[in-house]
A and B are shown apart, each in its own frame.
Chain A
């Protein structure tokens, strides 16, 4: 029997590199074995090529049309179909050339296979030659390539190149973005732990909207499938959540926003989230001065914006709230919060004018949502600072911020992320301006990235600034989104490696392929990807390829073994130090 890899599957008939190449399959081949996105080898006269199937079809003469009509026996129909298959139908595949190899190293295809070149299945050897092999240092297997007939060999991704610059994971909900995100996060940590020479440690900052990094990955019904990467590597992570109950139940650290540390600039940045008007923002600076100086609230000025008489009972139930109200009353010399607000209105009216007072009264109600979020006023407590210190310290830990029961509370998610990003940027710039080198490379995983890097907000958002300014300073962004078309084109341009799961919206598909070598040809592949199938192109993989992402449960076992090995090494080292010095 002829070996599957040496068997001729078809021949190149016509086409071009830019427009795609048409190959006719041999009659005995079933077109049903040639899924879109499959990898296939072309044996030319002097080169071997790799190509992706970007379209598939059948053509036949008009003679075939009548076959659906005749009133004849099934035997006759079957016999006729057999003949038609041999004589009057062609099965074709359209191919996008992705790579070629002659005697030299594989490279991007810049020649065209000659007429009648032979189509064959890719072999294990082909995959190794073109895509390299896993070495548990820089190269880590990510999945098996899609081929016409199963091939149990995996393709590695170059983690070193992956984290050189930003990368993106696009795909509709439920396609496997989070699994891949966890897998890549695990590989980045493993790469960092296995590095022989540590010049700059890598720290992950994961904005984990659905708590699938910090705790567990779930199926579409909400059932647990596997442990999240930060749970598996929990000794290497600080896992936060703004949800108090969630923190207690699941053993996470509570994330509290210290409102006394919120600046006017922070508030301006957050204003689109709360929907306050431009007029209010125009007066904000003077309103802040009135609250901080005239009413003597100082660092508690923000409370002057949001508190009213009704809040006394509500806040007074906790020690922290009671202390806050008493402190406010003491500082501004008022008997209750109602009087505070009236006083503020009176001064604003007098000093800025009636329109400002009116704006203050109406717009500050929009800010009252802040009262629903986890906050603190204790000066010493500042989660944001704690996180930033950790991820910028080579001895620090990676961080996840999981939203817990706030997972649908986009404004809170955005507020936390933006506050963190803004402070992170400031801190990095401060270090750099002092001539200090960054001890760590920070990789920020950002789910629902369009909220921060969308066309509307990109220019103002701190993440936009990080994406623009920080990428060459050691902070890279992992853009995770189901609507790439809503991202600013500049952001897409900054992405060096793309992982594209299935998308159906034409604009999303177009955006997801902006940096690909064959956007027109690849367009057909994206909407037809199955669950866990992903098109990868860019720096971290040698050539574009569609593959089925590794089973995460298997990777979890690998990660657990790795952790055991590392812990054993650490214990061994500790024992040897103890033996030597004690």
Chain B
């Protein structure tokens, strides 16, 4: 499991930030994504926001890409032609990722702890980072060393359907596969518990997509 240094290493480099908080509305944050990172962002990514007190975590629910000028002009060109003709076009575009606030990270103790509940809110322009490293994902998926999917209740309540949950699982399938063999039963139990908490009725379909993803 990652120590605090690994988290500080991620959060201390502005260059690694993929965007910044552009809008806060309840448990939903819009992150303005820097254009160069836009291709790297997917539904289901785990994002950490370097807020003042706690580091807030959420999961990408949807992505949006629109013009900042308010009107759209058709160009009838291929992507290569557009990039050559208008190399700074993306400066006039807005790349937004909507994330669902699910958890917070406490870095005040030596051992970083993630709690799948909300604590504090970010401010506009707080930097956002993508959580990809396995040891950081350990802290998220297995706080205290045990599988814990309770973040799903926020994700689902704020609008994630089975499709977004599928994307989340699919995006992290390599990580899950690398860890699941150690404790398959508790992994399944954690997943089902979370679905029950999220008041999902058709649990069977979720079970099936999970098995499909993990094949």
Contact = CB atoms under 8 A, between A and B. Distances in A.
Given A62-B201, A75-B184, A75-B185, A83 B196 contact: yes
B88 interface: no
Contacts of B193: 83, 87
6 contacts: A63-B196, A67-B204, A79-B188, A80-B189, A83-B189, A83-B196
A83 B184 contact: no
The interface residues of chain B, by DSSP majority, are classed as: helix
A66 B201 contact: yes
A78 interface: yes
Contacts, number: 57
B208 A72 contact: yes
Contacts of B211: 71-73, 76
Interface in A240-280: none
A79 B204 contact: no
A69 interface: yes
Contacts of A66: 201-205
Most buried by B among A61, A67, A80, A82: A80
Interface of B: 184-186, 188-189, 192-193, 195-196, 200-205, 207-208, 210-211
Contact of A78 (B185, B186, B200, B203): B185
A80 B185 contact: no
Interface residues of A, number: 20
B203 A67 contact: yes
The interface residues of chain A, by DSSP majority, are classed as: helix
B104 to A, nearest CB: 25
Interface in A63-113: 63, 66-67, 69-73, 75-76, 78-80, 82-84, 87-88
A88 to B, nearest CB: 6
A63 B207 contact: no
Contacts of A80: 188-189, 192, 203, 207
Given A72-B211, A80-B207, A87-B193, A63 B200 contact: yes
Contacts of A82: 185, 189
Given A63-B201, A66-B201, A79-B185, A72 B192 contact: no
Contacts of A67: 203-204
Given A70-B207, A70-B208, A83-B196, A75 B188 contact: yes
A74 to B, nearest CB: 11
A316 to B, nearest CB: 88
Nearest to A76: B188
A80 B203 CA distance: 10
Contacts of A71: 208, 211
Interface of A: 61-63, 66-67, 69-73, 75-76, 78-80, 82-84, 87-88
A84 B204 CA distance: 13
Contacts of A76: 188, 207, 210-211
Contacts of B203: 63, 66-67, 70, 80
A79 B189 contact: yes
A79 B193 CA distance: 10
Given A72-B207, A79-B188, A80-B188, 15 more contacts: A62-B201, A66-B202, A66-B203, A67-B204, A72-B211, A75-B184, A75-B188, A76-B188, A76-B207, A79-B184, A79-B186, A82-B185, A83-B189, A83-B193, A84-B192
- The 7 tightest CB contacts between A and B, nearest first, are A79-B188, A66-B204, A70-B204, A83-B192, A70-B207, A69-B204, A72-B211
Contacts of B208: 70-72
Nearest to A67: B204
Nearest to B184: A75
Contacts of A73: 211
Contacts of B186: 79
A500 to B, nearest CB: 43
